[in-house]
Amino acid sequence: MTASNQRDREKQIAAEAAADLVEDGMTVGLGTGSTVSFLLPSLARRHRAIRCVATSPRTADLARQLNIDVEPFTTIDRLDLAIDGTDQITPDGWLIKGGGAAHTREKLVAITADRFVVIADSTKPVELLRGPVPVELLAFGLGSTLRRLNDITLREVPSSPDGGVIGDYHGPLVNPRETASLLSNTPGLIEHGLFPPEMVTMALIGRGDRVEVMTYSSE
Ligand code: 5RP
């Protein structure tokens, strides 16, 4: 098996384990990315009576093609469960997300859920987070925000579905809580991709043929 096939297999088994957590009657947040693209068919096969919100137009389209009911995230004010991938996860549960530029919606959906479950292959766990940290910036005042933060590069990608400009913060990341606080307190910065452990309930990591279960704050 090639390394890429092995990674896909790990994503698949992590996604299956997460789909097993979904029960009839639940409201479910669907993340974004290649790992989530394994989750959606797993979920569809179970034919659960669920209501979902999606963190990106891509996920919403894929889910609807599989007859998964996706609603706008406007009036729903709590979710039973959110399931999403990650770019990195540390042993104590810090995440860097936003490789796919969906971190603003992903964080809002994760914080709305009673349980936030991360699914990943075995390349995602890291001892220490490595930058850069994805960011979404307001177009209004962009020059000012870039000058104040100083360490941001902009990605050559379309704006987010909410009109935000996507970039990456290359500044210090020795203490993720301090970096998260700096970014959160910067006017003009809409959201960043650092997710603290208290947001994460559980991680399901595919390793070879088995799924490693890590539990964090609220489980
Ligand atoms: C998108 C994300 C993704 O969850 C993250 O990039 C992981 O993606 P993949 O499952 O493709 O490795 O944060 O903004």
- 9 shares a domain with 65: yes
- 207 shares a domain with 143: no
Question: How many structural domains is the chain composed of?
Answer: 2
34 touches ligand 1 (CB under 6 Å): yes
- 141 shares a domain with 114: no
CATH number at residue 211: 3.40.50.1360
- 201 shares a domain with 152: no
C-beta of residue 22 within 8 angstroms of C-beta of residue 44: no
- 183 shares a domain with 144: yes
Decide if 106 is catalytic. yes
Q: What is the 3-state secondary structure (H, E, C) of the chain?
A: CCHHHHHHHHHHHHHHHHHCCCCCCCEEEECCCHHHHHHHHHHHHHCCCCEEEECCHHHHHHHHHCCCCECCCCCCCCEEEEEECCCEECCCCCEECCCCCCHHHHHHHHHHEEEEEEEEECCCECCCCCCCEEEEECCCCHHHHHHHHCCEEECCCCCCCCCCEEEEECCCCCCHHHHHHHHHCCCCEEEECEECHHHCCEEEEEECCEEEEEECCCC
- 116 shares a domain with 53: yes
- 209 shares a domain with 103: yes
C-beta of residue 76 within 8 angstroms of C-beta of residue 95: no
Ligand 1 closest atom vs CA 102? 14
Domain of 165 in residue numbering reads as 133-192
Spell out the per-residue pLDDT of the chain, length 219, in tens.
898 899 999 999 999 999 999 999 999 999 999 999 999 999 999 999 999 999 999 999 999 999 999 999 998 999 999 999 999 999 999 999 999 999 999 999 999 999 999 999 999 999 999 999 999 999 999 999 999 999 999 999 999 999 999 999 999 999 999 999 999 999 999 999 999 999 999 999 999 999 999 999 755
CATH number at residue 139: 3.30.70.260
Pick from 7, 39, 86 the residue to mutate for probing ligand 1's pocket: most ligand atoms within 8 Å of its CB: 86
